[in-house]
Structure 1
Amino acid sequence: MSTDAADAETDPGSTIEVTPSAAEEAISLMRSEGMDVEEGGLRLFVQQGGCAGLSYGMRFDTEPEDDDLIVERHGLRVFVDPASENYIGGSTLDYESGLQAAGFHVENPNVVSECGCGESFRT
């Protein structure tokens, strides 16, 4: 996996990617909430729930936890806890906007099935 000088990882073995549009939208939302984008970041996690068993969660955090994987892409810091990393390693976070819906989407190569609405998954 290649990174450029503007992108850094705390764990060089990490495989979480972020598209430029996802980073731009998240940074914009963080700034609108008065958050420090240098210290804070977007927490991406997996939780139990949904009709397929697991679902993604996202929230902004002011700082990472001690054991978090920290990935920086396009100026956005992404925090992932070790348990979630097992499910989402290799994933790409994207932001899509369209006429019918807009939002963040996780493209996860580990998923073996998703529910019909696409909100939960199984690995």
Structure 2
Amino acid sequence: MSTEPATSGEATTRIEVTEEAASQALALLEDEGLDTDIAGLRLFVQQGGCAGLSYGMRFDDEPDEDDTVYEHHALRVFVDPASMKYIEGSVLDYEDGLQAEGFHVDNPNVVSECGCGESFRT
């Protein structure tokens, strides 16, 4: 699948997704009974956390009209314009280690993170 935006919005910088993250997200989408040809993972930024901003993820049935849609390893990723300015250039990965398991955003725009790694500042 293409790593270029699939639909609306001209992206100057990509959002990348590792193969492991895509595989995990697709399995979860299918468990929810969602059509992976249309539905996808929404990656967004919200106010909160001790550093000021935090990442959010959820499954959506389809992208919003103003979303940029990326497709990596058959996973569709939806990013709204407000979130894009904070997370452009990021890589979504899935970590499976002794201390933590789950999705992780490697964001080149972050200037500081809180001690627990749940929130950040750009």
Query: Which TM-score applies when normalising by structure 2?
Result: 0.93
CA–CA distance in 2 between the matches of 1:41 and 1:84?
A: 16
What amino acid is aligned across from residue 100 of structure 1 in structure 2?
Q
Corresponding residue of 1:62: 61
* Residue segments in structure 1 that go unaligned for 5+ positions in a row: 1-5
Is it true that 1:52 corresponds to 2:51 in the alignment? yes
State whether residues 43 and 57 of structure 2, in contact with CA within 8 Å, keep that contact through their aligned partners in structure 1. Answer: yes
Is it true that 1:17 corresponds to 2:16 in the alignment? yes
State whether residues 96 and 103 of structure 1, in contact with CA within 8 Å, keep that contact through their aligned partners in structure 2. Answer: yes
* Residue segments in structure 2 that go unaligned for 5+ positions in a row: none
Task: Give the alignment's Cα RMSD to 1 decimal.
Answer: 1.0
CA–CA distance in 2 between the matches of 1:12 and 1:99?
A: 36
CA–CA distance in 2 between the matches of 1:108 and 1:64?
A: 22
Corresponding residue of 1:3: none
Q: Which runs of 4+ in 1 moved over 6 A?
A: none
Q: How does 1:1-123 map to 2 (within 5 A)?
A: 6-7=1-2, 8-9=4-5, 10=7, 11=10, 13-123=12-122
Query: Which TM-score applies when normalising by structure 1?
Result: 0.92
Greater Cα offset, 6-15 or 22-31: 6-15
Percentage identity across paired residues of the two chains = 68
